[in-house]
Amino acid sequence: MTNILICSAGTRNKIVQYFKSELKGEGNVIAADMSELAPALYEADKFYTVPRITDERYIDIILGICVKEKISGVLSLIDPELSLLAKNAEKFKAMGTTVIGSPYELCERALDKMQMYRWLSSHGYNCARSYDNLRDFYADMDGGLINFPVFVKPVKGSASIAISKVYDRETLELLFGQSAGLMVQEYLNGQEIGVDCYIDLISRKPVSIFTKKKLLMRAGETDKAVSFSDGALFELIEKFVAESGWLGQIDIDVFDVGGKYYISEVNPRFGGGYPHAYGCGCNHIKYILNNLKGVANQPQIGAYKNNVFMMKYNEVMIK
């Protein structure tokens, strides 16, 4: 039996459905969330309502669920929890549970956009110029290296919360005066691309890369997209994930600006657009289950059709 625990399940009903489908009755999907009104809970074989991840009891409660339900692998669907699970990976391992995700330091890097920017720029990757203070931003603006418009966003944030597109100094200084922990990021005027990548937990090599052009966004997630392939982009992603050390499922934001690829952000979890990849045959759920059984996956990079569209729509659950 391979039992899976999905933490902070929220509204990610599809992820729960995919795991249930791929397990084919040879294991259970357990879901957990702080709210009993999280609809994904009701797709699972069994669910638990748990405290907030900031509660000091939280990790012990999750460990207890893993023991009780004989969990083989645990994962989270929200950014702040990734570091928490990774930090306690050895505790889970001692109980026979694998944390499905990247190491702690990489989860922290992904959560801190300035830390990610510094790593990308120091390793020679094209990326958006970023500043955590206005002094350095103004110096580069005076030097002609950057100009308005720019994005202002939290250094540590997710789901496109509290992001503003800013066109002038007055607004920029107003935002920085109102809130701490903000950064300025260069506006990349190009095609936004989503990358779903799976790095094998055993071989530690990327075995699947799916790329899509984002056509419409909503609440920080891809709402409409179309699949495409580019060997140069696949090579860039393979180099990036190998050099970084990411593991498991990751979601990468990339921009195509004038024919050059810029790496923007990484979410080391299933992104909201992953159903597109799954629907095109990039079965990262199956890869996870294989790894939990001790089986390394063979590379299937780019093994999908181009020009396949994803269109999200609303659904309702009545309980």
5 closest CA partner among 70, 55, 51, 58 = 70
Is 74 within the bounds of a domain? yes
Is the pLDDT score of 65 beyond 70? yes
Helices (H), the chain: 13-23, 58-68, 79-87, 89-94, 104-111, 113-122, 134-142, 169-178, 231-244, 274-279, 284-292
Is 252 within the bounds of a domain? yes
The verdict on 178 and 211 lying in the same domain is no
Looking at the structure of the chain, the number of domains it has is: 3
Question: pLDDT grade, residue 159 (50/70/90)?
Answer: low
Parent domain of 227: 189-311
How many angstroms separate the CA atoms of 319 and 316, rounded? 10
- Which of 170, 186, 202 terminates a domain? The answer is 186
Is 118 within the bounds of a domain? no
What pLDDT was estimated at residue 217?
Answer: 84
pTM confidence score: 0.95
The verdict on 286 and 213 lying in the same domain is yes
Taking residues 113-127, report their average pLDDT.
98
The pLDDT tens digits for 229-243 are: 999 999 999 999 999
Is the pLDDT score of 162 beyond 90? no
Is 19 within the bounds of a domain? yes
The verdict on 275 and 300 lying in the same domain is yes
The pLDDT tens digits for 184-219 are: 999 999 999 999 999 999 999 999 999 999 999 887
Q: Which residue has the higher pLDDT, 217 or 137?
A: 137
